[in-house]
Every structure is written in C-alpha cells, then in structure tokens.
Structure 1
C-alpha cells in the first residue's frame, strides 16, 4: 500500500477504494483489512457489514454514505467531495464499498474524481457478490461439464442514459451462465427478454436474497416460473440472479443453508475483547451473531491487599486462579510492582478449568491441578483427597466472586487468603444498546457468567423491557450461571454439559435441533 504521505513536505493524504465483500465480514481481503485498520476516515456503504467497523482505530471518523433504493444519505457528488476534502487535509481515507469497488459499484467514478483532483488513491479489489453469493447458495457459476462462460450484468442501468446499453439479443444466448446484480425489481422484464431472444423457458434460475449472510434465502425455478415464485416468497433486494444449467447443482452443493445454526440469531454477552472466540464458532455454524457485551473488566481500588500478598507469597503452598482473565490481571499488577511471573516459582498452581489453565500455561507456567468439573465446587471435590490441612492458599479472583472455594478450603483446614485482581462493571451505554438489540426477536441469549446475567437483566429492566426476561431463551455455560439466570426470573433453555465455550456451542446446536427451531425461511422450490 502507498504510504500515507507521498511527499514528506506535502499534507496530501491517500484514499483507498476498498471492496468489503458481499456481506459476510470474513470475506474482506487481508489488504482491505489492513487499510481499514490504519484509516483516519472511513466512508462506508449500505451493504457493508458494520462488524468490519470494529477494526477501525478508536479515533477514526466513521461516515455512513449508504444508498438504498428510495433513500440516499449522500449524493455521489457529495461523497466525491468528502474524499477530496479529507485527502487534501492529509488524512488516510478508506472508501468501503460492498462487493468489489469497481464492479457496478461506482468506484471507477470516484477514482476519476480523485485523479482529476490530482490526489493519490489505491484500488483494493473485493470479493464480488456475483461469484460469492451463488457459491454460498451452492451454485458454481462455471462447471467444466455445464458452463464454460459467464456474463455479469447489471439489472439496474443508469436511469440518466438516453438508451439502454444492454443488448439482450446477444446476451440471452451468448454465455452459459448469466449473473444479474440489482435486478429484483426488473426480474419480470429480464425473464421475458431472455425468453424472447432465444433462451429456453425451461432454463434453470435462482434468486438469492441477502447472500452470504445468516438470513440468506434462495428461490429456484425456471425462466417461466421464477417470477411467480419470487412474488410468492416476497423476495426483495439485495439479491443476485443466476440463469443457467449450473443452478441444477444447488440440490447437491447447497452447504451454507444446511449449517446447524443457520438463520438463528444469537446474542453474545461476553466482554468486548472476548466476544470473538464465541462469535467465530457460532458464525462458522451459520448463526447470526449480535455482540452485546454485558460486562467490562476494570481494576480494583488499591488497598494494599495485593502488595501484602506478594510480600507473603513464599509462605503460600497453593495459588488458585478462577478465570482466564486472572493471569492477565496478575501480570499487569505484577508489572506495577516491578515484578514478573517468576515470583510464582515453587508454588502449586490450580486452575478452575481448561481455558484458565491454557491462559496460565501460555505464560510458561505449569498448572498442577485442574478439576474434572469446571467450577469452584469442582476444585473442592478434586482436592478433597489431598492432605491440605495446615497448608496456605492464595485465591486470585474477581472482586465479588463467590466464596465457595474460600469456605471449602477453610473447612479442609487450609489457611486461605483471597485477593481480588479486577472487578466486573456494567459497560457504558449498555441500556441504549439493549433497546436496539431487543427491538427484533432474538433466538438465543448466551451468558458465560453470573455477572453477565446480572448486568443484562439490570439493563433490560432499566430499558423498560423487564417483560422479556422470562421469555428469552437463555443459553448458559454451566450450573452456576444457570442458577443466577433463574434467580433473576429467566428460563434456561440450554446449559452446557462442560463449562467451556465449546460446550456452550454444542448445547446450542443440540438445543436448536431438539426444539425444531427453524432456520431463516428458505422459499420453497420444486424440482427444476
């Protein structure tokens, strides 16, 4: 990529015309993502996934310039003026466009405007919906035995043209596969033109709405039947139309719409920096993930407890970590005392579960004990046969964490000291975000700790949505969290058998099958 400043003495910036891909945020290119991460200004379009904006710098200026059929937030001329103004002020700008920026995306016009203004720009191609959307519907646009040629056609020509530039007499039979973008509103005319100019009425067709996203819908038929079927299914833009024999392959190659969580809406309430682990697993199974962090982590007020624990650390036989976050906060607090993890040498280390153990071992520290059941009760059960009487233990946990482990160890004759390393707090604007998320029906709400449940229920109540608490399908990571949900008036629909993120995902998959929860509705289509 170009450097931000082309001339060290110049204040001219650079514009990146970036293709965001067809909808699935994972389909942006590596180079496009790199540009997004360094941008000072991002101007994005209607069909761009807002998940991509999470990769922007916190200080980046984000401008929505979406155009819907009857609603343009900015004219094309206004967008071009913005690009020129920000580039002249020395900014790095990303113009984030759906699909590929120069395939029916007006990226060429924006590049010409920048060239005319003598401003530097890069074009970073994107994955076009013309190829990706049919692929997500199980339709390869070419196939060695069926189709050796493909034409990409706009179904929505510039209304200001004096006459149409599409030669339907040639297009109808020129290639094996036709892919039309932005063509739902003119589908009837398109089908009639293709038939009139020699394409057989029995030619297979598919219309794919919101392709590559968890609410994707696909209708198949023939040139003679596709309009009627789309009307019956109420198909609307954005959609991609495929005409050709390759559509027959969908019966065998449909894969995305068969994923176990396809079309299900799942709310993830983990802390913002921990959302991706669960979200990535759910999205890989076809779910629509709504990130709604219900807890944030913050330091505890300094009260000398941690410093005194460090001074006495050599007197402790055991050190217990009760969450994956514990070791990270421990390191952070150690650094403030000009110490490091070598201070744990000679102590027995216990972790509440595999994720906590993995976090500790990533730091090069061996974990001596991990229970079979991942809870404070599991730790006590696993340790009860050990000779612990007269030993000393240090528990490093969150402020306000349950005292089951502390009391249980004391009952075993252990001298226990508990030191909070961090605390869970309610994220800013949670109530506002809750109102927005719960405007639409939610399939599942996942909770991975009692704090998640406490904070979300408090936000629902403050938002005037207390009535939803008992209606939500809560998906809990384990018994302790489930108890908190029930205490708050919620109904636990599924609970992980193993208190891990993977266990929670398994529970969601099984729960969806058991309850017969439907995927996003796929319009019916009889044999082609």
Structure 2
C-alpha cells in the first residue's frame, strides 16, 4: 500500500484574499490625527469591518463615525488594565482574524512607520492568517506640513528622521546641515539641542516644535537650538509633538497656512436642529473652527394632522395654482405625507412651485422637482413676495396657494399674497418645539464664555438657546443670519458682532470668518499675541485707597 504524504500547509502570502479558514486582517493607518486625512481605502474597510482592533483613545470617534456596526476590541490595554506588549497585541489580532470576521487593525499614522505593524504582520504570517497593509499619512511628514514647514526645498534635499526615545544616539552623525525630524523629543529637547550644538550645529539653527499636529489644538513654537529648551518649557509643550531642526523652518513665516486660518481653534456653538447642523458645521471646520452642535429646536408633526391631510388631497385634486415652500422642513413634511399616501412627484403635475431660497430649492430638486419661482434678491418671505406675480383671472385658472409652514411662522407671506389677490391655505405642516437642555458642562461653558462664538440661524434659535441654556457670555462673538434674527438677539440682551449679508448659512460662516481674519490682523498689527475670544485678559483690580 502506497501512502501519499500530505504536503505541509503553506502560510498564505501577504495580500492574499480573505479566507474564513485561515482568517484575514487589514492593517489600516489612521493618519496623524485629522480624520479628513484618512485614505479612501481605509474608510471603505472601516465601513465594512465587523471587528476593529484599536490602540489609541482618539480612535473612538473615528470608529463611531465610520464603523458603528463593528465590535471594538481594545488593543492598547489588557483586561487587567495594563498596556499590551507588541506580542500580546499581535495575539489579539490573530485571534480575531481567525474568527472568520472582517477585521481591521486600526493604527495611528502608518502601520509600517514607527509602529508595530511589522511585528503584528509577522505574527499573522506565522499563524497562517492573511493580511493587507493600508498605508496612512505619517506624522513625520504631515505635522511639519500642517505647521507650514516643508522638509525639503531646492536648497535642502536631505532629511533624517530620529526617534529620540532610543537609548543612545550619536548626535555627531547629525552635525551636518540636513533637516532633522525629531520624534519623542519634548522631554529631552534641552539635552538634544546641547548635543547638536556641541557636535557642530550653530546655536542659531532654526527649530520648530509642533504638538498635536493636524488637529485644531495644534500649537507650534519656533525657536533656535540655543533657546528651544526654554521656549518649549515656557509654552507648556507636551507630547505628542514633532520637532524639525534646520533652515527650512524659516519658511514657516510665509507658508504657515493651518494655524493662521481665520477661526483656527475657535470653539463655535451651533444651535440648530440636529438634521440641519451638518453643512454649517462642515463650513466652520473648513475655517479651522471646532463646531459644537447643540439642538435647540425639535421638529415634530402638527398636533392635528387633519388640516395637512385635507391640503394634500386638495393638491392631488388640482385645487391649487401654487405651492410655496418656505423651508427645507416644509419640503420634508409634504414629502413624508406623500410617502404616507403612496404618492410621488407626478402629483405636482400642473402645479407651480415656489421656494424661499436656494437651500429649499435644492431640497425640492432632490425630490425630482424644480422650483418655478426663487427670489431674485433677498431670500426671504419679503424677497419671495417681490417676485410673486399678482393673481390674473385670465392667466390663472385657480387663485389658491398652498402654504405648508411651521406653527410659529410669521404672517408676512400670507398677508403679502392676499394683497396680490391670492387666496392662501396657510397649513401647519410641522411644529418647532424647544429641545431639552444641553448637558450641564455645555450650559456652564455658554454662560462663562468658554465658547468663542455662537451662530444663530433664526430668531427661534436665539429664543430657544437662551431658554434652555442661558444667555451667552459677553465675550462670545455673536453671529446672526439676518436682520430679524439680529433684532431678536438684541431683544435678549446680546451684542451682535456679525450680520450675514444674505440669509444663508454659508454666507453667515463666511462673514464670521471675515470677522475672525480682521480680528487676527488687528492683533498682529498691534504686536499682540493672537488669542481666541474665549481667552480673556485678567481684569485689572482696582487698588484700595
């Protein structure tokens, strides 16, 4: 009897397709800190992950945003609360991968640059687990870039990266004019600087130390080898930080782009409905702000839906010549009724559609419809009336307008349409009610001036914020979307600093950014440090006589 030996099982080659038999892990670099720097591939893997093995607390928000469906496994600490070694962390990854689920091992920066990616990938090879490496943007290059410090230019082509946590470094080998990128150097920067000067580097060599780079908490200290120790200590620099040594640091004077954003680091309160805050917050982040959304309004169905039901039936039966939408919420309310009745956009056939502004028109267009009338000037009820045609009994077969609105809407549009000889069915399509108060720390921050600015997008947001959280501190910059909102703010004792030129959230954010830029320029011109509005000088105490 001939026995054929069974060939030894080969470990899957790196990059092999996932297999439920051997398991598979994706080592994903999360980048240097800014979630917007995550690669497209990394985001796709997180969205489809079933297990995410993390190593840093700051990964929590990223995972919650992109992988809420995944089980999160702490790869930083064991069940006893002690930090895991590289070997122990690798075992966690292998065990999860062998479960047959889609596993993402999320790592700060790049998995293969000053990280434990190589050791953990080797453990996968040894265990017969397939893997892939998804590079991330490393802090080695990203943080200096965000600080406005290029690592190379025409005159400086060579760069050396030094991990200063290593036990023994021969600084004589770095005595030339290469650009140095120092990692983990905050605690020993004085000793390092002295060693570099002793090795032959001039004491006047420029140095830039940047902490928590690529985030809105980023802070950079520019100094020289002779002074960096004292300057970093005076600035209270703490890890994590990346330090650049070399003449390229001088370029920061003209190339600093991130920390000079007009609203950099500003904590901005966004009191809006939760559904509507997204685009405004995104625009604020683009200017370097840190938006904090506090819902002040909850949009709910009308208490009595019969009026809305009757109006929808009238729309289908052809009782109206026009339907006028004065908000995105009104579009949403009518659309929900259509879904409830099994109707679609075809029911609008022969009906003219008016929208109070571009945002509302976009919501209508998303429904597959197009507004026939949008104000050519001011995007408001008054602007809509200026362009609205008067009723003509020859041209208009029907003289009735369907106006689905909020329960607290003003009568401006109704009265104006009636003056143009239109009959108006003013229907409550939704209610705006005051939201529950924000958490106590947020209320305290509002009252004590720890927010740098607050943006009000309607009179109701002013009334409701003051009602549920109290009046913002006098130092807080108040930005409002239009004259009516400004009037309400002033009636509540608030000083209006920024007024949008037109009633648009984007225009409002741009106006606040212009204010921030002008404020920054005036501080620089006066030779004063650029501080945020929430950073107030201690008031001078009057001496007793």
Q: Are 1:498 and 2:507 counterparts?
A: no
Judging changes above 3 Å, is the alpha-carbon distance between structure 1 residues 230 and 418 closer, same or farther for their aligned structure 2 residues?
Answer: same
Judging changes above 3 Å, is the alpha-carbon distance between structure 1 residues 416 and 13 closer, same or farther for their aligned structure 2 residues?
Answer: farther
Residue 131 of structure 1 deviates from its aligned partner by 0.6
Q: Are 1:360 and 2:360 counterparts?
A: no
Contact 1:350 1:369 (8 Å CA) reproduced: yes
Measured in 1, the distance between the counterparts of 2:437 and 2:89 equals: 30
Measured in 2, the distance between the counterparts of 1:440 and 1:95 equals: 40
What is the SS of the residue equivalent to 1:286?
coil
Residue 507 of structure 1 deviates from its aligned partner by 1.9
Query: Which of 1 and 2 has higher RCO (CA within 8 Å, sep 6+)?
Result: 1
| Aligned residue number for residue 376 of structure 1 | 381
Judging changes above 3 Å, is the alpha-carbon distance between structure 1 residues 64 and 444 closer, same or farther for their aligned structure 2 residues?
Answer: farther
Q: Are 1:282 and 2:284 counterparts?
A: yes
For residues 149-173 of structure 1, give each alpha carbon's deviation from its aligned partner in whole angstroms, at most 9, with x where no partner exists.
212221223xxxxxx3544332443
For residues 122-172 of structure 1, give each alpha carbon's deviation from its aligned partner in whole angstroms, at most 9, with x where no partner exists.
32211111111111222111112x222212221223xxxxxx354433244
User: Paired residue for 1:415, among 416, 423, 431?
Assistant: 423
| Aligned residue number for residue 104 of structure 1 | 114
| Aligned residue number for residue 201 of structure 2 | 199
Judging changes above 3 Å, is the alpha-carbon distance between structure 1 residues 236 and 361 closer, same or farther for their aligned structure 2 residues?
Answer: same
For residues 316-336 of structure 1, give each alpha carbon's deviation from its aligned partner in whole angstroms, at most 9, with x where no partner exists.
111111113433443343232
Judging changes above 3 Å, is the alpha-carbon distance between structure 1 residues 426 and 340 closer, same or farther for their aligned structure 2 residues?
Answer: same
For residues 87-111 of structure 1, give each alpha carbon's deviation from its aligned partner in whole angstroms, at most 9, with x where no partner exists.
4444434333332233223333443
Measured in 1, the distance between the counterparts of 2:16 and 2:437 equals: 37
| Aligned residue number for residue 139 of structure 1 | 149
State the TM-score, normalized to the length of structure 2: 0.80
More displaced stretch, 305-314 vs 124-133? 305-314
Contact 2:453 2:478 (8 Å CA) reproduced: yes
| Aligned residue number for residue 19 of structure 1 | 29
Measured in 2, the distance between the counterparts of 1:402 and 1:347 equals: 24
User: Paired residue for 2:402, among 384, 394, 401?
Assistant: 394
Measured in 2, the distance between the counterparts of 1:302 and 1:112 equals: 66
| Aligned residue number for residue 446 of structure 1 | 455
Q: Are 1:155 and 2:164 counterparts?
A: yes
- How many aligned residue pairs are there? 500
Measured in 2, the distance between the counterparts of 1:14 and 1:459 equals: 50
| Aligned residue number for residue 269 of structure 2 | 267
Measured in 2, the distance between the counterparts of 1:316 and 1:474 equals: 42
Q: Are 1:345 and 2:349 counterparts?
A: yes
Contact 2:465 2:471 (8 Å CA) reproduced: no
Q: Are 1:226 and 2:228 counterparts?
A: yes
User: Paired residue for 1:333, among 333, 337, 341?
Assistant: 337
Residue 177 of structure 1 deviates from its aligned partner by 1.3
More displaced stretch, 54-63 vs 226-235? 54-63
What is the SS of the residue equivalent to 1:289?
strand
User: Paired residue for 1:129, among 111, 114, 139?
Assistant: 139
More displaced stretch, 494-503 vs 259-268? 259-268
Contact 1:470 1:489 (8 Å CA) reproduced: no
Measured in 2, the distance between the counterparts of 1:455 and 1:114 equals: 55
Contact 2:437 2:468 (8 Å CA) reproduced: no
Contact 2:405 2:429 (8 Å CA) reproduced: yes
Residue 220 of structure 1 deviates from its aligned partner by 2.0
What is the SS of the residue equivalent to 1:366?
coil
What is the SS of the residue equivalent to 1:369?
coil
Contact 2:453 2:479 (8 Å CA) reproduced: yes
Matched ranges for 1:42-61 at <5 A:
42-46=52-56, 48=58, 52-53=62-63, 55-61=65-71
State the TM-score, normalized to the length of structure 1: 0.82
Contact 1:472 1:490 (8 Å CA) reproduced: no
Measured in 2, the distance between the counterparts of 1:102 and 1:170 equals: 25
Matched ranges for 1:417-436 at <5 A:
417-424=425-432, 430-431=438-439, 434=442
RMSD: 3.5
| Aligned residue number for residue 172 of structure 2 | 169
Judging changes above 3 Å, is the alpha-carbon distance between structure 1 residues 292 and 243 closer, same or farther for their aligned structure 2 residues?
Answer: same
Measured in 2, the distance between the counterparts of 1:305 and 1:57 equals: 42
Residue 43 of structure 1 deviates from its aligned partner by 4.4
Structure showing greater radius of gyration is 2
